[in-house]
Every structure is written in C-alpha cells, then in structure tokens.
Amino acid sequence: MNNQSLEFSVAPMMKWTDHHCRYFHRLITKKAFLYSEMISADALVYGPTDRLLFANHFDHKTIIQIGGSNRKNMTRAAYKIQNSGYKEVNLNIGCPSNRVQAGNFGACLMEKPNLVVDCIKSIQDKCDINISVKCRVGTDKMDNKDFFNFIDLISNAGINKFVVHARKAILNGLSPKQNREIPPLNYALVTLLKERYKHLKIILNGGIKSIETGFSHVKKNNLDGFMIGREAYQNPYILIEVDKMFKEKNVPLLRHEIAFSVAEYIDKFCNSFVNEDFKIIRHILGLYNGMPGSKAWRKKLVQKTNYKRMGDKVRFATDEIEKYINMKKVA
C-alpha cells in the first residue's frame, strides 16, 4: 500500500476545531482531511446555520461531524450540510461524555445500532452526501462480538467508512478526558476489523503521537488511514509532515509565513472589539513549540494590546521570535 492511497485527518475536537482552527491547519497541510468540532443536529436545524457551517470557508477535504439520534433532525442537518457544499457528513457515535449521553447520542448509540441505522437510511433517502461514522471499539457493556455486530448492521446500511478510536468508551464513572487515557488501546482489534471487512475503509484513531508513527502503523496493518487529535492541536507544525508523506509538490510554509497569514486573516475577520483576535490566536499558540523563545512568543500573544491592526500582535511577536531563533543559530 502506498501513501497516496491512505487518508490522514485531524480529529473533531469540541471547542477546538472550529473554522478558525481549520483555516490555520489548512495553511500547514493541503492533504489532510479536517473535521469540524461536533455540531448537534438540533443546533443545525434550529440555530444559525451560516455561522455553524461557515459555508464560505471550506474545501472538499473538510468534513462536518454531527451528533444526534432524532432521524428527522439528523436528516435536515445533513441536508443543510450538503446544500452548503460539503461532500461528507460524519456521525458521532464515539463521544462518551455524560452531556452527550443525556442527548441520546455519541458512544451510547453503539448499544442502539438499529437507531443509528434508522438515521442513516433517513439521510440516504433525502440526501446525496457521503456518510461516515466515528465510533469506539465498543462500550463497557459490549464485547468483541457486540462490536462486530454493530459494524455489520451499520455497514449493511450502506456505510463504508469507519473512523475507529481504539479504546472502549466507559459510559459510567469516567470523564471524557479519562476516557482518552484510562481504557487501554486495542489496535489489534482495529486490525482484526480490517481483516474481517476488507471492503470497508477503516481509519485508526487514538494514541498516535506522530505522523511518521501513524503512517508506519497503518501500512504495516493494512489499514486505510489514521487520525490524530490533541497532538496535532498542541503541536500543529507536525502537520507539515503530512504533505511530505504524500509527496505533495507544494513548498511547505515556514512557521513565520503561517503566522503572518494568520495575522492577515485576523485583520479581515475581526472587528475592533478588544481581544476579539484571541478567538483565532488561541489556535496558533503551539506553532513554535520546541523552538527557542516559544514561551515568550505565547506570552506576547495572550497579552491585551491595542494595535492599529488586529493582526499586528501576531506580526510583532513573530518578528521577535524569528530574530531570537536566528540569533541562537549564529551563537
């Protein structure tokens, strides 16, 4: 399997992968699929669709993730996503939080596969958009047989792409953070899933810390791709390795070029309200992680300032860290 046939993506992360974050990540990588943070179907149906979807700010590698279990609202949400130009909608069947469970969606739906099938069929009846599913390898109430039964039912409903977090979801007693750390990773089960369902696209998620490790693992185990979450958010410049792995011909942007592009974006997007820029700046704080002066750079970005242009804070802070890095090189 060559790299060109693999799929890499940045995971949907609540309060993190909004449209500002996706703009920033797209500056670093052209080949990655970028997921929205989960949007509830009800919010898309009854809320401000344009603001939630930001339909003027996407490309064909942007995927909207929705959560819900009311088939009418799931269908109406998918229809709005399709009409906004997106090519794929992802169903959240993996989030273990109590809040999501209270809304009867997320990982708890792995225990109710027939309800998921009803939603899928309803969407298929009314929409032409591609549908994928993000799930776990089960819940604390499920064994491997239950997991494969879930995959059977969902794939028989016409779903051929599964993003699988290789941990079980513990629905009682663990916080979402603990659910990302305490349940053991079971990569072997994801590999077995692919062996049993060779016709399905299986994307691995969970515990992957580097692009190189991810590519190596999925190629070794004949998986179809992998997804990275918090590591990509906290150390975003690792995404530069994605396009290298895909042998992308475009010359990658340097850190300061990315920062200056974000500064221009801030100028265009933000109004004159004090610290309105931080809605964007918060996503780039890890850009210089591991570089000399990164702590001082982050400190300057979070300070309250009153520059003439909203993006000047980023420009001045970036000029300073680049001078410091060059000075260190000379020394």
**Among 20, 92, 10, which residue's Cα sits nearest to residue 265?**
20
Domain identity same for 171 and 261: no
Residue 276 has pLDDT above 80, yes or no: no
Residue 308 CA from chain centroid, whole number: 34
CA angle 149, 137, 208 (to 5 degrees): 150
- The whole-angstrom separation of Cα 89 and Cα 11 is 14
Q: What is the CATH number of the domain that holds 274?
A: 1.20.120
Beta strands in 70-139 (DSSP E): 88-93, 130-136
Is residue 306 very low, low, confident or very high in pLDDT (cuts 50, 70, 90)? confident
Is residue 2 very low, low, confident or very high in pLDDT (cuts 50, 70, 90)? low
Domain identity same for 227 and 307: no
**pLDDT by residue (tens digit) across 318-328?**
999 999 999 98
Q: 275 lies in which domain range?
A: 255-330
Domain identity same for 167 and 309: no
Residue 262 has pLDDT above 90, yes or no: yes
**pLDDT by residue (tens digit) across 120-134?**
999 999 999 999 999
Q: Of 245, 279, 305, which residue constitutes the final position of a domain?
A: 245
Q: Which two tokens stand for residue 11?
A: 């995971």
pLDDT (0 to 100) of residue 273: 54
pLDDT (0 to 100) of residue 113: 97
Any domain includes 215: yes
Is residue 103 very low, low, confident or very high in pLDDT (cuts 50, 70, 90)? confident
Is residue 54 very low, low, confident or very high in pLDDT (cuts 50, 70, 90)? confident
Domain identity same for 114 and 13: yes
Residue 117 has pLDDT above 80, yes or no: yes
Q: Of 205, 225, 245, which residue constitutes the final position of a domain?
A: 245
Element (H, E) at 264: helix 255-269
Residue 275 has pLDDT above 90, yes or no: no
Mean pLDDT of 239-264: 91
Percent above pLDDT 90 for the chain: 80
Residue 111 has pLDDT above 90, yes or no: yes
Residue 104 has pLDDT above 90, yes or no: no
Domain identity same for 229 and 130: yes
- The whole-angstrom separation of Cα 239 and Cα 242 is 5
Catalogue the active-site residues: 95
Any domain includes 207: yes
- The whole-angstrom separation of Cα 134 and Cα 38 is 11
Q: What's the domain count of the chain? A: 2
Give one DSSP letter per residue of 274-325, joined into a string: TTTTHHHHGGGTTTTTTSTTHHHHHHHHHS----SSTTHHHHHHHHHHHHHH
Any domain includes 250: no
**Among 104, 203, 116, which residue's Cα sits nearest to residue 155?**
116
Mean pLDDT estimate for the chain? 93
**Among 326, 238, 327, 220, which residue's Cα sits nearest to residue 288?**
238
Is residue 53 very low, low, confident or very high in pLDDT (cuts 50, 70, 90)? confident
Domain identity same for 139 and 261: no
Is residue 269 very low, low, confident or very high in pLDDT (cuts 50, 70, 90)? confident
pLDDT (0 to 100) of residue 326: 94
Any domain includes 265: yes
pLDDT (0 to 100) of residue 259: 98
Q: What is the pTM for the complete model shown?
A: 0.94
Percent above pLDDT 70 for the chain: 96
